[in-house]
Amino acid sequence: MSELECRVLSGDDGLMTLRPEIYLYPYFRISEPVSCGAWNLNLRETKRLRRNTNPKSNGIARVIERHLDPKGKVLHSAVVATRTGPGWDDVEARRTEVDAFHSAVSFAVLNANADDRYRIPWDSGLFEPATSETAIISVTPEDAVHGDASLLRRGPINSHLVGGATGHLKLPAPEGLISIPILTLDARLLEATFRNAMAATTPEPSDANKIEREIYAAIHWYSRAWENSPLHTMPDVIVQLKTSLEALSGRDKTKDSVKVLGELYAAAVAAPGGEALLWQNEGTRFERTDRNGKTYDVTTFEHWFWNFAETRNKIVHDTLDPEMEYVMEGSPFAGNIFRVADRVCRELIRINLSRLERDNLLMSESALQIQAVFKEIGGIEQQSEDH
């Protein structure tokens, strides 16, 4: 346990109870509230919070105002996460669920960069992409808002406590954060990703949750690829996206990974909503030559994936900057390697979640609403015919 976590259990009656915490996402805004399991995400403004006589509302306002935007100005609104479910048994149970929820929110935030057809408007001058920094969660013990604050800044190599009197402790925005975008989160995707994360992080890994763990790992590496820190380079991004796809396939060899992922892709195209996927079942084949000079007849996806894997290998083994264009006339995967790999990762994660959830996550909310209307009309017409 960390120095801060050692102090989260207390109780006047001798029983150990968890000290409550405040969870917020300072660096993005949502267009509408969204729920996920026992969690709710809502946009809160400090002005409105201070009108409330509830001490907790005023405490949340103070926590929000401790955060600075990319220009160094105090924030006056944030997305606040509240939980209405039964209490946790211990610190570990709380940490597991908060981490699972944060993983789901992070993927939903990054997914919000794309439209209903999975396309990101890279060439638009108005596009402000959400990055992993956008989805950083801020966790504050509730009692830290009443007096001098003491917060743990945690890292994998070093951690230390920072403190200051109420109103004086200011937390600068992450260095890689460029803007605070307004996002619409996909509620069905958020819920499915959260359930998957909870199943993946059960204490004892087993064959029963193997697919969940593969998806959870894929989302972790996908989120890492979207870090915008100056220390993070495009070669890092390519390696992490390749790792994400490798995790998703459950295979560590390219020849096995490409087969598994290709079969997932091909099957998904036939499902409603699959027509928007980058994969196309048009029957086009390409010739691929391996390192030994042997040639193979492969699909467009297989040709792209092998090129992507070889690009990753050049980075890892030869420390080379990658050629960022995959030039192959007639291939839907032609183009900037990062942008295509990003879309392939997003689509395949959704496909695997759909397969696991038995819910078609490939269809947009608007498409589902239209489908529901047609079903209702069909039902009414059937009733009319029966009578």
Tokens found for residue 328: 């192959």
Residue 174: pLDDT above 70? Answer: yes
- pLDDT of 343 reads 98
**15 has a pLDDT exceeding 70:** no
Mean pLDDT of 16-26: 87
Torsion angle of alpha carbons 161, 162, 164, 167, nearest 10°? -120
Spatial CA neighbour of 215 closest among 32, 353, 372, 77: 353
Please give the Cα distance from 84 to 122 (Å, whole number). Answer: 38
Closest CA to 7 of 17, 15, 375: 17
335 burial type by CB count under 10 A (0-12 exposed, 13-18 middle, 19+ buried) = middle
pLDDT exceeding 70 applies to what percent of the chain?
Answer: 89
Mean pLDDT value across residues 56-70? 93
Q: What is the rounded CA–CA span in Å between residue 131 and residue 99?
A: 18
Q: What is the DSSP letter of 78?
A: E
Cα separation of 375 and 274, whole Å?
20
Strands (E), 93-228: 138-141, 149-153, 160-164, 182-183
Instruction: Summarize pLDDT for 267-295 with one digit per residue, the tens.
Output: 999 888 899 999 987 788 999 998 888 99
Q: Residue 55 — pLDDT band, cuts 50, 70, 90?
A: confident
Of 178-182, 205-209, 231-235, 248-252, where does mean pLDDT reach its minimum?
Answer: 205-209
And the tokens for 319? 């420390």
Tokens coding 63: 């926590």
Identify the band that residue 138 occupies on the pLDDT scale cut at 50, 70 and 90: very high
Provide the pLDDT for residue 298. 94
pLDDT tens readout for residues 213-229: 999 999 999 999 999 99
Let me know the angle formed at the C-alpha of 358 by 116 and 216, rounded to the nearest 5 degrees.
75
Q: Helix (H, G, I), strand (E, B), or coil: what is residue 171?
A: strand
Mean pLDDT, to the nearest integer, of 108-134? Answer: 94
Q: What are phi and psi of 289, to 5 degrees?
A: -110, 125
Element (DSSP H or E) covering residue 34: strand 34-36
The 3-class secondary structure across 250-265, one letter per residue, is CCCCHHHHHHHHHHHH
| Cβ atoms of residues 159 and 152 within 8 Å | yes
* Residue-level pLDDT at 13: 40
pLDDT for 383 equals 57
Mean predicted confidence (pLDDT) in 146-163 = 73
Cβ atoms 276, 362 nearer than 8 A? yes
Q: Out of 92-96, 117-121, 318-322, which region has the weakest mean confidence (pLDDT)? A: 318-322
**Helix/strand/coil (H/E/C) assignment for every residue in 340-368:** HHHHHHHHHHHHHHHHHHCCCCCCCHHHH
Positive or negative, the CA dihedral 35, 40, 45, 47 is: positive
Are 65 and 29 contacting, i.e. CB atoms less than 8 angstroms apart? no
